Amino acid sequence: MAVPAVAVIASSNVVLPSHPLIWYHGRWDSSRGTWWTGSGLTLHVEGLSSLSLQLGRKTTQPSVAVGLSVNYGPFTDLKLTNGTNQIPLNITATPRGGLPRSLVIRLNVQGWQNNNMYLEKIILNNGAKILPYAPSRLSFQFIGDSLSAGQYLSNGVDGAWPFLVAETFKAEQSIQAQPGGCLTDQVCWGNAHGISYQFFRTEDNGYYYNPNHNYTTPWDFHKDYPPTHVFIEAGANDNAYNVSGANLTTTYLGFIAKLRRIYPTQPIFVVGAWGWPDQDGTVYYYYDGVFEDVVAKRSALGDKHIYFIDTKGWVGWDDIFSDNKHPNTPGHAHIAEQLTAWLQKWGLKPQKSWPTVVG
């Protein structure tokens, strides 16, 4: 007898956002709303045939861009709205026939701005049951600007190098990437604060333009699944705002000193500038020498877990959008490949498999 690919929903069961087995990641506020691109949740569900999310009134209007991956497959783009959204799972029968025993569903906001998804309810088919999710042993924390956020990509952060590298290593990720943000705590391109301030907050700088939540609150780092590796990419906007190299160095060292109180021994990687390539083959490298100097100064202070990643030559004219010089889709993939190779040479191996067994 043929087994239908998707079972008929007899009745449903409602899971509230406080359910202890929802695996949240990224930055959520106390009303269960996301900030910072890449924030989201992972569910491991037994007997799943239907999934809906009910989102609150403060969800980004007219919709919030969300990436969806089922069983660690590629991410697809969804636009979710306030109210109830049926999530297209496309569940297919297993090779042995029948529905998969359990599924891992990953959902994350992916826009470069306007990333408020307020979770009110998760609605599963009757009989479906949330199981514990075992996270990866690797967990990457990225801190950056538009070059890390995937600004101008149709799938935003889900197409950007931090996310791609995390996927390659089968690592959990948290990405605090603020387009237009200087590292220096000053107004840059409409951002009320610099990354060296906002990183420690729950909200990204979008709070300033959000009439529903026009304030910012401290982030409780105990809520994070602790990172095993920390990456910082910053400086492009400070350079545009004429912050001197000496000043950026001071700010960078102060920022790393603050990070060390949270991440005492994790490797911290300072990602150098791949610069702004030109059509004639030349590349403008902002803060040339400054990033390696920051790392040298930290090392001199006794920091044994600080590394400079030289990205010069990683990005050429074909890797960027010609009008705004941000990496394009193949450009982000190209950066991710080179960073992966760099990390492997450094000694980090991708996990062989994700620990939560599905199927």
Q: Which residues bind ligand NAG (CB under 6 A)?
A: 57, 68, 70, 76, 82-83, 88, 90, 208-209, 211, 214, 241-242, 244, 246-247, 250
We find the least distance from the C-beta atom of residue 319 to ligand NAG, in angstroms, to be: 26
Instruction: Report in angstroms the alpha-carbon separations of 14 from 59, 129, 178.
Output: 20, 10, 34
Cα angle value 47/51/52 (rounded, 5°): 160
Nearer to ligand NAG, 181 or 327 (CB): 181
| Residue 358, token pair as written in the block | 């599905």
Nearer to ligand NAG, 1 or 300 (CB): 300
Nearer to ligand NAG, 207 or 263 (CB): 207
Beta bridge partners of 142: 175, 231
We find the least distance from the C-beta atom of residue 245 to ligand NAG, in angstroms, to be: 8
We find the least distance from the C-beta atom of residue 59 to ligand NAG, in angstroms, to be: 8
Nearer to ligand NAG, 77 or 337 (CB): 77
Indicate the burial class of 105 (C-beta count within 10 angstroms; 0-12, 13-18, 19 or more).
buried
Helix 290-300, helix 245-262: angle, nearest 10: 50
Nearer to ligand NAG, 126 or 214 (CB): 214
We find the least distance from the C-beta atom of residue 74 to ligand NAG, in angstroms, to be: 8
Core vs surface per residue 110-120: b (16+ CB within 10 A) or e:
bbbbbbbbbbb
We find the least distance from the C-beta atom of residue 1 to ligand NAG, in angstroms, to be: 25
We find the least distance from the C-beta atom of residue 236 to ligand NAG, in angstroms, to be: 13
Nearer to ligand NAG, 72 or 346 (CB): 72
Tell me how long the chain is: 359
Residue whose beta carbon is closest to ligand NAG: 83
Instruction: Report in angstroms the alpha-carbon separations of 355 from 104, 147, 170, 171, 301.
Output: 11, 30, 9, 11, 38
Separate counts of helices (H) and strands (E) for the chain: 7, 17
